[in-house]
Amino acid sequence: MISIITPVLNESGIIKPFFEHLNSLSGKFELILVDGGSSDTTINEINRERKSFKKKLTVVKTYQGRGNQMNKGAVVAKSDILLFLHIDCKIEKETIPIIEKEIRENKIIGGGLYQEFLESDDFLKLASNFGNFRSRITKIFFGDCGIFVRKDIFELTAGYDNIVFLEDVEFCKKVKKFGKLKQINCKIFSSPRRYVKIGKIKISIIFTLSYLLNSFGFRPKFFIEYIVNK
């Protein structure tokens, strides 16, 4: 079994399709939704739709911050494998059993998936291809790559750092010290909503600069408005 951990914040319009998507997946898993203090009807929507959800569902409430939310979810996870899945992402039907097989048989401790956009064009395809190439070489995954890891390794790393962005990058750096990460042959489809809202070229430049500067220990507050608050 796998524990899927999903942070949510003001996502009332996406709860139903997210549940419907998870209901279509193969394999055994539980879902842990970690609310960061939603001010809309997210919690009401979760309560409304949970009756139709086929798997075990746990709802955790905490304060805002994706790293904090995912750490809180990991604490209550019952499985020895964790999959951190954004609510605006979809994975292929057989992803859960494939992740389990990779960890059980190939002795990896974690990894990520191949990212594509739900609605794509030439620019977004190029962005995905570049990101997948970078992940394949560096074994560093962004959150929309569907990061998965053994729970015992997660606990050894003390989980995600309490930083406002690029917590996924820093987490992968810590995990790599304990064993092999792998980009497995499964796709994850993420929403391009942030690219559409901010602008494809603009957000690409911001992501690239923030990633490069983070490599040298710099996380300028200028980027918070775009990476966290948009």
CATH number, domain containing residue 33: 3.90.550.10
**Where residue 219 falls among pLDDT bands split at 50, 70, 90?**
low
Contact 1, 78 (CB under 8 A): yes
Provide the mean pLDDT of the chain: 91
What pLDDT, on the 0 to 100 scale, is given for residue 220?
61
Residues 167, 226, single domain; the answer is: no
Mean pLDDT of 49-65: 95
Residues 208, 180, single domain; the answer is: no
Residues 20, 96, single domain; the answer is: yes
DSSP the chain: -EEEEEEESS-TTTHHHHHHHHHT--S-EEEEEEE---SSSHHHHHHHHGGG--SEEEEEE--S-HHHHHHHHHHH--SSEEEE--TTEEE-TTHHHHHHHHHHHH---EEEEEEEESS--HHHHHHHHHHHHHHHHH----GGG--EEEHHHHHHHTSS-S-SS-HHHHHHHHHGGGS-EEEEEEEEEE--HHHHHH-HHHHHHHHHHHHHHHHTT---GGGHHHHT--
Count the domains in the chain. Answer: 2
Residues 74, 187, single domain; the answer is: yes
Q: Check pLDDT > 70 for residue 92.
A: yes
**Where residue 227 falls among pLDDT bands split at 50, 70, 90?**
low
Residues 74, 174, single domain; the answer is: yes
Per the DSSP assignment, residues forming a β-bridge with 90 are 189
What's the number of CA atoms in the CB half-sphere (13 Å) around residue 130?
Answer: 9
What percentage of the chain exceeds 70 in pLDDT? 93
Q: Is the C-alpha dihedral spanning 40, 3, 136, 166 positive or negative? A: positive
Residues 182, 201, single domain; the answer is: no
What pLDDT, on the 0 to 100 scale, is given for residue 197?
80
Instruction: Tell me how far apart the 2 most distant CA atoms of the chain are, in Å.
Output: 47
**Full residue range of the structural domain in which residue 181 is found:** 2-191
Residues 142, 230, single domain; the answer is: no
Residues 34, 135, single domain; the answer is: yes
Measured CA to CA, the distance from residue 99 to residue 122 in angstroms comes to 29
Residues 143, 175, single domain; the answer is: yes
Which segment of 87-96, 113-122, 187-196 scores lowest on mean pLDDT?
187-196
CA proximity to 37, closest of 4, 3, 72: 72
Residues 210, 154, single domain; the answer is: no
Mean pLDDT of 117-131: 91
Residues 201, 176, single domain; the answer is: no
Residues 75, 148, single domain; the answer is: yes
Mean pLDDT of 164-181: 93
